[in-house]
Structure 1
Amino acid sequence: MIDIQFRREDSNIMSVEMSGHAEAGPYGYDIVCAAVSALSIGTVNSLSEIAEIPVEVVSANDSGGYLKFTLPTDLTQKQMETGQILMKSLYLSLKSTEEEYNEYLRINSLDGK
């Protein structure tokens, strides 16, 4: 099971933490893992390249199964607005994936402290 925690401050999503493995299929054929990976890495890349936000990323490079990325607190208004669009888009995409594959993926909270 992949557990995903969105944390926010006030109304802004400031970090996403993912851990676990979907195990929805054999290695290389796990479509839930592929979807979560593509969505999350795409968001990190978009935050960096489109919003020009220096995202703090922590991952388990060797074994996989863990990713956390956090927005810095000292963003310009434009960076924060663009970053929030991207983070909310990730939330909605993962929520849709969870609805279809809830035995492999759980989003714990959007209101985590």
Structure 2
Amino acid sequence: MITAKFKQDEYGNIHSYEITGHSGYAEAGEDIICAAVSVLAIETVNSIEKLASHRMIVKEADDEGGYLYAETLKDLSEEQNYISQILLKHLYYSLEDVAETYPTYVNIKI
């Protein structure tokens, strides 16, 4: 199962997410759920870098896959934070949709 954990502050701003595991829906290279989650998670990091001019702290397990951690920096401008929050909330809601469609394979925690 894939688990996505989001950390947010008291105002509802998401500051980090961690995605672990494999869905087990299909063989590696054929798994549409793993592919969907991977694309959403990685493209969120890339979009924040391009649109908010902010490089997140990222840790991933390249050799075996199944792990991604991304965290925003603390000293963002108001505009960088605003753009980042839109993209991070988009990721959360998108993964929530995947989890609702495939509840046996994806779990979201906030």
State the TM bucket, normalised to the shorter chain.
over 0.9
Residue 58 of structure 1 is matched in structure 2 by 59
Q: Specify the alignment match of 1:9 in structure 2.
A: 9
**1:45 aligned onto 2:64:** no
2:74 is paired with a residue whose SS is coil
Equivalent pairs, count: 109
C-alpha distance after superposition, 1:7-47 (max 9, x if no partner): 01222100000111111101111000000001001101001
RMSD of aligned C-alpha atoms? 0.7
Deviating above 6 A after TM superposition, structure 1's stretches of 4 or more consecutive aligned residues are: none
Query: Paired residue for 2:30?
Result: 29
Q: Secondary structure at the match of 1:106?
A: strand
Q: Which has the higher strand share?
A: 1
Greater RCO (CA < 8 Å, at least 6 residues apart) = 1
Identity of aligned residues (%): 42
Structure 1, unaligned runs of 5 or more: none
Measured after TM superposition, the shift of residue 108 of structure 1 is 1.7
Which runs of 5 or more residues in structure 2 are unaligned?
A: none
